[in-house]
Amino acid sequence: MISKKLYNFSKKWHKYVGISISLILIWMSISGILLNHIDLCAPFNVSNTFLPNDYLPEHWNRGMIRDAEFIGVDTVIMGGNAGIWLSSDKGKSFDKLPIDSSSYYSKVNDLFLDSTSNSLLVGAYGGLYQVDVPTQKVKLIPLPSTYREKVVKVLPHKDNLIVVTENHVYKGNRSTLDHFSNLNISKEQMSTYNLISYTFALHSGWLWGMPGRIVYDLVSVILIFLCVTALYITFRKKKKPTDKAKKKKVNKTMGWMIKNHTNIGLYVCLFLLIIGGTGFFMRPPALVALVDGHVPLKYVPNALTENQWYHSIRNATINTDTEELILDTKEGIYKGDLKTDAVFSLQNWDVNIFVMGATVFDYKGDGHFLIGSFYGLFDYKEGNPYSYDVVYNQSVPKYEGMERPADYMIMGYFQSPEGVHFISTFQHGLMSMFNAPEDAYYPMPKALKENYEFPLWNYMFELHNGRLFTFITGKYGILFIPLIALFFLFITISGVHEYIYRKRKKIFKFLTKPNKSNSL
């Protein structure tokens, strides 16, 4: 027999914990729905009025510079999370060069100034763009995909152009920028699936593709209903109508609220447990437990493994000495030949790359690679048991597990025509790696901060993971998501427990008389 004491505990704290996090769960549900549909969010931005001060760019921080290109001695082109900024006076002033009407799709990952086509090629969230710098005319280059793909790297290779997206590697004509084809590369062996990717896919529903996302959207709407009914039941104005008809109507409404809050919550409790359980691991410190974890392929839907690289590729470079393509992926470093149907093998490189991926990934010759991430900037020679930290000038072995980000979280690296080496860092912005003259720096334009707009999708992401409130929570903000997830799991389990206790006699009768039809 289920203890009445436990029932009273569940009932009491289900109510208090539930109403305490109801508003949070409502914003989680709304933001979760929008996050599942990037194309719906892409056209919209959030004014800087609604952003905390630490979200506003200063000194090109927060990824405002991911890459840079130079034309002659006067023209400077910066590309990053605020799109492309162009200077014609050696970087003393900058103007925005729009490449897309959407701020989200305008976010730049890579720039490549191609002398053969005399144009700037931009790898951005919205795809591959060609920019004629003198006229500032922009053209979206079509790729052989049925949907818009995020381009992570644009690489020249002889007479060809290699365009690497999150999901595919394409090869096209470098001069005419057409005839792109999918190289259709594959992995040497794939018996497991990355645990972090699996957990995120399970949390959002895209583990089952679009049908899964639609189901999770419906569950989110139901969760909003559960929160609203909980608040109504708890905080309704307790009036006692003297008129019998009004009294009957009030009682009927309340009865409907209570009944459907309970029944509908029971119907979706399994989905709620999955969302809450996976949500617990969405951010550090719990995320650390998933690092280097794998899931057997038998637990992964076929639709997710049809393309082995789906949402997996984060950066790329070409070893020009061996003619090999190197890919930084969520599973690690892969290497293979630059040809159609090539098989890529997983590498065991002793270099530290943060869980979010390499932000700098360039081949420097003689087996050396320049690799940057939130762990810092490293020179790594393939085969060495360590990498060399070029910021602190010291050798660094590979970490045994996930470590805290470095003081300088690298977002980009470039060298000016004058030979000055710059790093773009997430918190501190643009910095010179070595002592540089005062006039060598590139001041961030005031218009970037004054007119800054945050893409709606990114705003929803920051809202969903709680980082938007770091200015309130401070260093304890890292615990926000795990705690909310635990509270959410508690109210789900306690709600089911309440139902089972109240219906225990009917449940017992149903289980002991299986031949009879009993309705709960």
Walk along the chain (520 residues) in steps of 10 and give the mean pLDDT of each run: 81 95 97 97 96 96 98 94 97 97 98 84 98 95 95 96 98 93 94 93 94 97 97 78 64 86 96 98 91 91 86 98 97 96 97 97 98 99 97 95 94 95 97 81 96 97 94 90 97 95 83 61
Q: Helices 4-35 and 209-235, interaxial angle, to 10°? A: 130
Beta strands at 45-47 and 127-132: parallel, antiparallel or unpaired: unpaired
Under 8 Å between Cβ of 150 and 165? yes
Q: Is 332 helix (H, G, I), strand (E, B) or coil?
A: strand
Q: Is 340 helix (H, G, I), strand (E, B) or coil?
A: coil
Report in angstroms the alpha-carbon separations of 450 from 46, 144, 453, 458, 463: 13, 38, 9, 19, 22
Block residue for tokens 């029944």: 263
- How many residues are given for the chain? 520
Report in angstroms the alpha-carbon separations of 9 from 131, 230, 514: 64, 18, 32
> How many Cβ atoms are within 10 Å of 304's Cβ, its own excluded?
20
Q: What is the pLDDT of residue 513?
A: 75
Nearest 10 degrees: Cα torsion 411, 442, 58, 465 = -20
**CA separation for the pair 469, 27 (Å, rounded):** 13
**Spatial CA neighbour of 431 closest among 358, 357, 376:** 376
Q: For residue 504, give the amino acid letter.
A: R
Q: What is the pLDDT of residue 311?
A: 93
**CA separation for the pair 405, 402 (Å, rounded):** 9
- Listed in sequence order, the residues at least 6 apart from 155 whose beta carbon sits closer than 8 Å to its beta carbon are 112, 161, 162, 163, 164, 316, 317, 318
- Listed in sequence order, the residues at least 6 apart from 508 whose beta carbon sits closer than 8 Å to its beta carbon are none
Q: What is the pLDDT of residue 252?
A: 81
Report in angstroms the alpha-carbon separations of 149 from 202, 357, 474: 22, 18, 35
Q: Helices 480-502 and 269-279, interaxial angle, to 10°? A: 160
Q: Is 486 helix (H, G, I), strand (E, B) or coil?
A: helix
Q: Is 339 helix (H, G, I), strand (E, B) or coil?
A: coil
Q: Is 450 helix (H, G, I), strand (E, B) or coil?
A: helix
Q: What is the pLDDT of residue 440?
A: 77
- Residue 369 β-bridge partners: 363, 380
Nearest 10 degrees: Cα torsion 49, 52, 58, 63 = -100
**Spatial CA neighbour of 60 closest among 488, 504, 500, 446:** 446
Given CA atoms 431, 437, 440, 442 in this order, what sign does their dihedral have?
positive
**Spatial CA neighbour of 152 closest among 109, 101, 106:** 109
Angle at CA of residue 366, ends 363 and 369, nearest 5°: 30
Whether omega for the bond prior to residue 156 falls within 30 degrees of 0, making it cis, is no
Q: What is the pLDDT of residue 512?
A: 82
Residue 348 is encoded by which pair of tokens?
A: 């065991």
Block residue for tokens 């090539």: 342
**CA separation for the pair 308, 218 (Å, rounded):** 29
**CA separation for the pair 354, 192 (Å, rounded):** 21
**CA separation for the pair 71, 114 (Å, rounded):** 11
**CA separation for the pair 457, 34 (Å, rounded):** 7
Burial category of 186 from C-beta neighbours within 10 Å (exposed 0-12, middle 13-18, buried 19 and up): middle
> How many Cβ atoms are within 10 Å of 273's Cβ, its own excluded?
15
- DSSP letters spanning 164-196: EESS-EEEEETTT----EE---EES---EEEHH
Q: What is the pLDDT of residue 45?
A: 97
**Spatial CA neighbour of 109 closest among 176, 145, 155:** 155
